[in-house]
Amino acid sequence: MTFFLLLSFLWNVLFSCNSNPDMSLQCQMIPNSMPVLEKKGDIILGGLFSLHDMVEEQRLPFTSQPHRIKCTRFNFRTFRWMQTMIFAIEEINNEGKLLPNITIGYKIYDSCSTPHKALKAAMELMGSEEGSEVEQKTQNYSACNGSVPVVIGDGGSTQSLVVARFLGVFIVPQISYFSSCACLSDKNEFPAFLRTMPSDFFQVDALVQLVKHFGWTWVGLIAGDDAYGRDGANIFVNKVTKLGVCVAFYEIIPKNSQKTEILSIISTIRLSGANVILVFAVEQDAAALFDEVQRSGLTGIQWLASEAWSTAAVLSTPKKYHHILQGTVGFAIQHAKIPGLQDFLLRLNPSRLDAHKDPFLVSFWEEVFQCSLSVQTESQEHEAEIKPPCSGKEDLRSVTNIYSDVSQLRISYNVYKAVYASAYALKAMKSCVEGKGPFLQKSCADQDIIRPWQLLHYLKQVRYSNSFANEITFDENGDPAALYDLVNWQMNTNGEIEFINIGKFDGTTTVVEQKLHIHEEIILWNGNKTRVPLSICGTICPPGTRKAMRPNFPVCCYDCVAYAIECKQCPPEFWSNADRTTCIPKRVEFLSFRDTMGITLVVISIIGTLSTCIVVLIFYCHRTTPIVRANNSELSFLLLFSLTLCFLCSLTFIGQPSKWSCMLRHTAFGISFVLCISCILGKTIVVLIAFKATLPGSNIIKWFGPAQQKAIITICTLTQVIICTVWLLVAPPTPRQLIPHEKAFVILLCDEGSYIAFALVLSYIGLLAFICLFLAFLARKLPNSFNEARLITFSMLIFCTVWIAFIPAYISSPGKYATVTEVFAILASSYGLLGCIFAPKCYMILLRPKKNTRKHLMSKAPSGKF
């Protein structure tokens, strides 16, 4: 209600100046007309651009005329935005494909960076198309059928707030190209507002993710004194504190740029100790701050830039800022290269025939070339220095400034998109088929009279892909997709600042971790450093100290204090460090393939395996010789195969214990050795039976043929398999940590699981070895020249000796050396069997082939000799 009363008051004041002489005071406050750049067309687009900055003259008492507002400091960057709007309109008109047989015109005003001027311009845009006098506007104005169906602008959020409230009353669509205040997304308050600039809600989200990514917990915040700065800063504070980050200070840059107030901000920065500071402000306010920062000699601060000044030439071009702003990091909206725009910008010249229609060209030309196109009055001479007259030969191509720089077209691209979005909405409106329209009773809009509220419907539905492969659309709040470039201010070899793209932020994705992408390796921080700056409220506590909260300070602030005298005992798997200030994990110890001992055992195992294979090859090549045939070649090959398994099973004891390796090592050891001993037992029985079969009247040989021998081996081995299977099912071996007290290591070993099952496996091997030794001992004096029973007896003596000696050695060996002892016993017994049983046979086959005859083998050996 207050807003409508104010609006009514302004309306009455504005349109009653000429008719009521008593209102001269108010009429001096609100001039009758404003300079406007216009071009006729079938459809007129309105434009609002802050071509000048605002300066307030000295405030006077209310008893006299109120303070005046002056527009000064011509803005080249904004002038480029305005020219981009004209370029886009002329591009659409010249191509004629988007809106055939329809021309677009424009009416563009300078809002002078003030809400007052912006509102005045918006009110004039709502007038009739005929003339520009206030009386005509009063008589012909129609809120429904105004001459401007859509307004492009304004730039600043503060100006857009005022304009959006005014245009929203009449549902006239407004498309802003630079207003990012999150408050403008409220459709209840601003029903007709849209923008091609992402909302600050997404920009703040990006800044918060940036702070979180680099681990900064003590961050300063400085904001501009407007809707953009205050709203964005407040959202940042609310979001960043939820992540445990503390805001060191929150300061506001005054609009009057008073030196004392800004110096107070700089003093706060020095006292805070914050090394990372976010400046959430427009470029004019940021420039006022950095002017005083440069004068006061404040350096070493890592500045974070909001989008409004992250690529501002007014700060990056002057070299006086380079030493304090080099390394700045900030988010910027995506840029594009618009073909033909630079030539269009450079076409301007006051000597053109239509130049007199451009009320802003004179100010632009005089500011660029610092000359005068008009005769100066005495009052103007007193206010400013006398400028030399322009020669008429000035050429924009000879000057390099932000106006003609098209390398970073970001806001200009937003203006370009806004014009095209309006054109696509108009096209959709003109293409409506009667009976299929979106309005009441499926009707279409009037093709002759464009009603703004109808055009607003089509603007909300706009969705198109432009020539830059970007999709242009608006969400339910009238906001575009939130896509930002992360830029870093880096100095090139020419001493100029370049905006290096170091990452991006995609606000459209729902996965938080995938929104921010940063290439840290190419970042140069303040001071040309590659290391990420540290910003915490305190220092990194040295060993022997701990963090202690500071009373009456934020939770991020702490001091380092010494630990208490009482010591805290470390958990069993941890060990105190050298300074006894913290617990560190104990060293894990096991028999590794990388240890010298582990490598040695692996080599011995491989040599044993290769030796067994060589014996197999020798036996296979001489399989028809008497010595191979006389010793049951099938049992010999099976015995060699089992010996190969014995050598290989030792490898399962090396390496970090795991569930599967623990089960495999014990079962493989038990089964392979039983198979080996069973083969030796079969060979021993064959020797005894063969001797008994030679006695007169003996037919015992038929009970111990080849089939019976295989059955004996199978039964013996299968018994061990059953024992191992039951063991694995009931209580299998598992990895276990052995944590010795007062030792700085943890031993990883395999727990047997069931000691009874483990004892049964070993006992069964010992039983077979004892039977084999006993039978071989009985057959040791049989009268053959080559008595294999003697070889088996000797091999079994070695086998039993090794394993009897293993028991005390295993019990007394600490840590991984118990596993080493077990592996050594396996390899030693395997080598004993291989050497004692097969070495003499290989010796005779290879070096004494004359004795490898049936006659020699069957002859009786001399007493006491082999």
- Measured from the Cβ of residue 324, the count of other Cβ atoms closer than 10 Å reads 19
Q: Are strands 193-195 and 218-224 parallel, antiparallel or unpaired?
A: unpaired
Confidence (pLDDT) at 516 = 93
Residue pair 174/192 in contact by the 8 Å Cβ criterion = yes
Confidence (pLDDT) at 198 = 92
Mean pLDDT of 299-312: 93
- Provide the token pair at 17: 């100046």
Q: Angle at CA 138, nearest 5°, toward 134 and 139?
A: 120
Say if residue 791's pLDDT is above 90. Answer: no
Distance CA 479, CA 88 (A): 21
Nearest to 338 by CA among 404, 396, 412, 423: 412
Confidence (pLDDT) at 682 = 80
Nearest to 282 by CA among 525, 50, 68, 121: 50
Q: What is the DSSP letter of 221?
A: E
Confidence (pLDDT) at 90 = 95
Place of tokens 């002329």: 90
Distance CA 497, CA 524 (A): 12
User: Residue 485's pLDDT band (boundaries 50, 70, 90)?
Assistant: very high
Q: Which residue has the higher pLDDT, 627 or 165?
A: 165
Confidence (pLDDT) at 137 = 37
With a pLDDT cut of 90, the percent of the chain lying above it is 34
Residue pair 331/200 in contact by the 8 Å Cβ criterion = no
User: Residue 863's pLDDT band (boundaries 50, 70, 90)?
Assistant: very low
Helix (H) or strand (E) holding 12: helix 2-14
Say if residue 653's pLDDT is above 80. Answer: yes
Confidence (pLDDT) at 277 = 96
Distance CA 757, CA 470 (A): 72
Give me the domains of the chain, ranges plus CATH numbers. 2-54+68-134+141-198+339-369+384-473 (3.40.50.2300), 200-306+312-338+481-522 (3.40.50.2300), 545-587 (no CATH), 596-734+747-852 (1.20.1070.10)
* Residue-wise burial string across 464-483, b where 16 or more C-beta atoms lie within 10 A, e elsewhere: beeeeeeebebeebbbbbbe
Say if residue 122's pLDDT is above 90. Answer: yes
Of 179-188, 634-643, 807-816, least confident by mean pLDDT is 807-816
Q: What's phi and psi for 633, nearest 5 deg?
A: -60, -35
Place of tokens 């961050």: 219
Is the bond leading into 186 cis (omega within 30 degrees of zero)?
A: no
Mapped onto helix, strand or coil, the DSSP state of residue 727 is helix
Helix (H) or strand (E) holding 737: strand 734-738
Mean pLDDT value across the chain: 82
Confidence (pLDDT) at 24 = 36
User: Residue 31's pLDDT band (boundaries 50, 70, 90)?
Assistant: very low
Distance CA 465, CA 317 (A): 34
Model-level pTM greater than 0.85? no
Contacting residues for 507 by C-beta, under 8 A, at least 6 apart:
198, 202, 205, 206, 481, 482, 483, 484, 515
Residue pair 245/215 in contact by the 8 Å Cβ criterion = no
SS (HEC) of 789-813 = HHHHHHHHHHHHHHHHHHHHHHHHC
Distance CA 698, CA 702 (A): 10
User: Residue 26's pLDDT band (boundaries 50, 70, 90)?
Assistant: very low
Of 477-481, 512-516, 587-591, least confident by mean pLDDT is 587-591
Confidence (pLDDT) at 221 = 96
Amino acid making up residue 656 = Q
Span 359-397, pLDDT tens digits:
899 889 988 998 888 755 444 444 445 788 888 788 898
Contacting residues for 235 by C-beta, under 8 A, at least 6 apart:
182, 200, 201, 204
Confidence (pLDDT) at 749 = 80
Most confident of 56-70, 341-355, 695-709: 341-355
User: Residue 738's pLDDT band (boundaries 50, 70, 90)?
Assistant: confident
Radius of gyration of the chain (CA): 47
Distance CA 132, CA 143 (A): 17
Confidence (pLDDT) at 29 = 38
Mapped onto helix, strand or coil, the DSSP state of residue 402 is coil
Of 124-133, 462-471, 702-711, least confident by mean pLDDT is 124-133
Give 69: exposed, middle or buried? Use CB within 10 Å, 0-12, 13-18, 19+.
Answer: middle
Confidence (pLDDT) at 787 = 59
Q: What's phi and psi for 835, nearest 5 deg?
A: -70, -40
**Count of CA atoms in the C-beta half-sphere (13 A) of 449:** 7
Distance CA 778, CA 773 (A): 9
Confidence (pLDDT) at 381 = 47
Confidence (pLDDT) at 858 = 58
- What residues are paired with 302 via a beta bridge? 276
Confidence (pLDDT) at 55 = 56
Confidence (pLDDT) at 338 = 92
- What residues are paired with 558 via a beta bridge? 549
Residue pair 372/393 in contact by the 8 Å Cβ criterion = no
- Provide the token pair at 19: 């008719």
